Chain A
């Protein structure tokens, strides 16, 4: 098993500046030697030191394919702990495909999804939760998500889960000792003590769980809905954001939403922007569908940007919408500051606690204030990635939730005055669920499931 050598394209299949083809396995270096030629055609990679870079060309037989840099990493000092070679070539789908084909022709086989990481795991380089973080890194779309994935990879999540497990184990051991040696271990007053201790653990786990949503926001971006009455300048705002010099705009592939959606990366955060139909009471059926859809998007959104035309009047509709927004994460924009101001910031602040910003989408003024506010809401506020562990993985999230509900059952048993030996079932469950996160308990279907989810390459 794992005796064969695998290869894959490790970078995105797009016309980016650089492409990487990775090879791993006992034959990796020999295979690379078959297709790599140094400028003088006198160098053999097999006789080179580990962790060295070599300039040269990839040849398919006599045909030169590309000018490349070859990185050499010998076992066990590589990602997979096997002999590994990375070929850095000029990006471009055709060139990368061609090199990959040549590598396969030379004796490697195409890697299955997640196989590089699977090998790293099997070779003891990383544990399960670290392996899952690799997947998150691959998926993560911005620097904050990357940071939290890196935290998991370096074991911060494992560390806090391990601590809670130790707490639980300690109590299980105490109960068991008391059952078997009642002369020396007394359970008098113990239920209350256990209840307090488990409430602490539950609180800790709930805090971890609360980061899960932030973790998703970091990983997938902030679902942002631009809301407002017709003609207040929602589309101009969207365009202004897209045109903002500090924003990097990307396409969102495969969106099925009937709402205009754009993605921008702003100061480390990803915003998935949705423009919506203007909100107003209407009898027009088509328009009403648009309005309903807009409200539904707003219900599911992480952030709502509510736009008001500052040159117009506030009406009941504005009041209703502002009151709808009062429990949500939202920013109020007073647009059209280039026109005569009929509504001032203080007027809006009187009827809402939400932050209010005055901008002119048309003249691109105030966008920097909006950027700061978004950053404040999502980063400077409750999310501070330096001292907090993020749960970014769905499996981890549901396991933590299950552990919490098992511990709640323990509290329920205490409340119901059940005999102490009944606590163990649910304590054991909680202990196991948490163990599954860090790979200290095993379930048969888990391992395959995790690795099958990996994308090609890593």
Chain B
């Protein structure tokens, strides 16, 4: 229980700073693992707020949400309860790039997450601004001991997770107008940065932005293309029964910018804080403002703009693809050039926001600071962008804060296990100089890291962590077994060149058989799949949809999947070669100077991680491999292959 020392101090196991998407996952993970946890927010009303786009998921981000769910996080369940439209993206492409995206009712989303936090045992919510981190020096470096709030109240804790999002030193810009506020006009956190700098933490300044919100009554939808949700909704969470999420959905709308829009933007670029040089922060290339798009894609005569509802309790519409920091009067003119928005009434202006974050290369793969034991961080504070990117880091940081206090090994996923593993490895190994956004192209083993198999990949890891129930774990084991048995069975079934077979094949435009084939061979044909061939397979057992889906994918793409698995094997070999930490790379005389500096600075945990550091060439990696061999021969007591 919470120990109340005096009016001015309290003691918890874990302090979480910030209650956005990262903070919520971190706090829930720690509390669910039984640790006394306190979460700080500048405003309880802003818990799990969605200050930008009104959706969860999307290309590759949908993967993150499913992985969060498989590990026992909350985001997937929360969106399943509060979505108002849902769509599986990229269905015309391979299963690796299918991605789920749901429009959220922003208020419901935030409200439900707040209730989840409030109902969580071992979790305390406190509205206060944290202004300092408190540390102690030990024999092996600095150690976190707690935080202090602006009011001077001290909270002792053995682990602290920083998830300050875009609040640190925030300022918002709309043309010439600058306010020192966080997102949505909430107050910024103005003290903590200095405390972090005083502790030797390297800070960056990033920028992001959001478009205007428009009064739905002022929009002429007849001039736009209606975008519907899927007929059959697939839930995010593996625990959600699909039948419970089939409901009436709202539509989104597609319209386009035009030459007139671009002309207004070009004529007013000098009033944009970015192009006028007022903004110091680096913005995301992959989520550019409309100004950036017009400048960078000068030859394009139009850009897609999606009009999306902010929820069912409001008539505000989000103008997706049109974030901006141009002045209010220009915005007014600019939005009204779009078909359907001729009479648009702006409810909230678009703005750019600048904030302090860290160079994430100061973190271990566990998201603990290398220099301050017990201090963890997640989310935009680590240089990422997006709700889903934030949430998954919050979850991993929270799990690791808990593991540290519980005396367990750090929880780390590698690049072949999950998108989350890719994201964190990218951040801590390569760093980032702009808000980092997840993308399918970043995951080199994406054929194995599909959104459909996140449960098969990660439920067991979540169970080991302690966030997944025994029932859920048992079901995944059972599911694995069912899939395996069914694949084996289907491979054995022979289909002859009979007339009844030809009939079925012709129905799907498939060439008739000349000679016998296995059912698996037929499943591999592009125009056929497992379900379509049911009538040729009278002995087929009654299997749940999620099992049938896996059987189909694993048979259809087995060649590709097994080739990717070989690549993973090679990858794992280098990951398993552990490097000593800390280690003085000046002892390896044959490394190039740049590589030596980077290695000394970054202290990678494996040869694999070292190979991904920019400035470390393959030749340097070869040198390390040879060196490591003799190093471990001389230090036989140390672990070699972990």
Contact = CB atoms under 8 A, between A and B. Distances in A.
A442 B621 contact: yes
B629 interface: yes
A143 interface: no
Interface stretch (A234-242, A310-318, A349-357, A413-421): A413-421
B92 A419 contact: yes
A430 B190 CA distance: 51
Interface string A388-432: 000000000000000000000100000011111110111011001
B590 A420 contact: no
A428 B93 contact: no
Contact of B626 (A424, A425, A447): A447
A1 interface: yes
A385 interface: no
Interface string A194-226: 000000000000000000000000000000000
Interface string B611-640: 100000011011101110110000000000
Contact of B573 (A180, A422, A443, A448): A443
Contact of B526 (A2, A416, A425, A448): A416
Closest 6 CB pairs of A and B: A176-B441, A419-B94, A419-B93, A122-B590, A180-B439, A442-B621
Interface in B558-612: 559-560, 563-564, 567, 570, 573-574, 577, 588-590, 592, 607, 611
Contacts of A181: 286
Chain A interface SS verdict (over half) = helix
A440 interface: yes
Contacts of B592: 124
7 contacts: A2-B589, A176-B439, A421-B94, A428-B444, A439-B619, A442-B574, A442-B625
Interface of B: 59-60, 90, 92-94, 96-97, 286, 297, 300, 303-304, 439-441, 444, 446-447, 526, 557, 559-560, 563-564, 567, 570, 573-574, 577, 588-590, 592, 607, 611, 618-619, 621-623, 625-627, 629-630
B566 to A, nearest CB: 8
Contacts, number: 102
Given A2-B590, A176-B441, A429 B96 contact: no
Given A419-B94, A422-B94, A442 B303 contact: no
A9 to B, nearest CB: 24
A127 B619 contact: yes
A232 B90 CA distance: 75
B625 A447 contact: yes
Nearest to A178: B441
Given A177-B441, A421-B97, A184 B297 contact: yes
A444 B590 contact: no
B599 to A, nearest CB: 15
A441 interface: yes
B441 A122 contact: no
Given A425-B567, A442-B574, A418 B94 contact: yes
A121 interface: yes
Given A416-B526, A422-B447, A422-B557, 12 more contacts: A1-B590, A124-B619, A183-B303, A409-B563, A418-B526, A419-B94, A421-B93, A424-B446, A440-B618, A442-B625, A444-B573, A448-B629
Nearest to A181: B286
A155 to B, nearest CB: 14
Given A439-B618, A442-B574, A420 B441 contact: no
